[in-house]
Structure 1
Amino acid sequence: MPEALLLVLMAVLGAAVILVLGLVAFRAAGDRSALAPPMPAAYRDDATGAWRRGTLRFVDDRLALKGSGGLAAGPWMRGNLDLGIARPLAAAEAATLGRSNLIQVPATYGTSTFELALDEQHYTALRAWVEAVPPGWNSQVA
């Protein structure tokens, strides 16, 4: 009987190791599919909410925000994402994020609205990516 128990425990441990290695490989493959390196950003659902830190990624035709602990917002499809007029983030709010000179940009995706806070160069990259919608995206519009 003790040999059977030892065998079962070894099988469970082996399965756990294989599962962990598979998850690590899956996550690494997902990171390689991004078009650009992750960009530090902050996100909030509305103008009165608290900022949540994370990283933005352009993955194919989607924008995804991954927060701390793997929590995510989005993904947002590029053709349906509308960026509003950007403005500097207030110094007090930027200080709460541990950064300075951030750009705050409101965004609309369908009926939902949210805000992003990014460095200037990352905002420029985001704006260019959103405005470079692939040809034919709205070709059926009369």
Structure 2
Amino acid sequence: MPSALVSTEIAIGTLLVAALLVLAATYLRRRYIAKGQPLTLCGFRAGGSDRWHLGLMRLADNALEWYTLGGVSLRPKRRWQRQALLLEAPRLLAPDDALALLPDAYGVSCTDRVETFELALQGPDYTAVRSWQEAAPPGYNVNVA
């Protein structure tokens, strides 16, 4: 009987260590992705699709970057250049189209030179993205320190 107890303790201990490793990896990935820039929860939907994908959005110097919420990738899944990005007027998402983790989110239709897509953002996040886009200095690839 003691061997069954030891086996159970080892199994529970292994599961706890695995859970702690997943939590630590998630935290460290989020910290690395942020790099001191604003990072927010955002929904993404490709043009013509009905399915939202949750992710993290970062306002980098010259691009809007979207990362998947789960996974280990440190590279953005989508990246749109600031000068090519066009944001439409926001609209409140219908209850049947809303995301559970983003209550009272707005859908924003967006286009760049290649694709049409939609972002789901909460009010303050939309304001931040709009301000970021409109504050771009004139010219291509201009960095202002």
Taking the aligned partners of 2:120 and 2:136, their CA distance within structure 1 comes to 22
How well do the aligned residues superpose, as a CA RMSD in angstroms? Answer: 2.6
Listed as ranges, the matches of 1:37-56 within 5 Å are: 38-56=39-57
Q: Is the 8 A contact 1:53 1:67 kept in 2?
A: yes
| Partner-residue secondary structure (3-state), 1:121 | helix
Q: Is the 8 A contact 2:47 2:115 kept in 1?
A: no
**Percent identity of paired positions between Structure 1 and Structure 2:** 32
Listed as ranges, the matches of 1:34-113 within 5 Å are: 34-36=36-38, 38-70=39-71, 72-94=76-98, 96-113=99-116
Q: With structure 1 as the length reference, what TM-score do the two structures score?
A: 0.67
| Partner-residue secondary structure (3-state), 1:79 | coil
Q: Over residues 59-116 of structure 1, what are the superposed CA-to-partner deviations in whole Å (9 max), with x where a residue is unaligned? A: 221111111334643211111110012100111221x433321010000010310000
Taking the aligned partners of 2:124 and 2:48, their CA distance within structure 1 comes to 23
Residues 1:97 and 1:73: Cα distance change in structure 2 (over 3 Å): farther
Q: With structure 2 as the length reference, what TM-score do the two structures score?
A: 0.66
Taking the aligned partners of 1:44 and 1:60, their CA distance within structure 2 comes to 23
Q: Is the 8 A contact 1:43 1:51 kept in 2?
A: yes
Q: Is the 8 A contact 1:64 1:74 kept in 2?
A: yes
Q: Is the 8 A contact 1:62 1:76 kept in 2?
A: yes
Aligned residues: 113
Q: Which has the higher helix share?
A: 1
Greater Rg by CA: 1
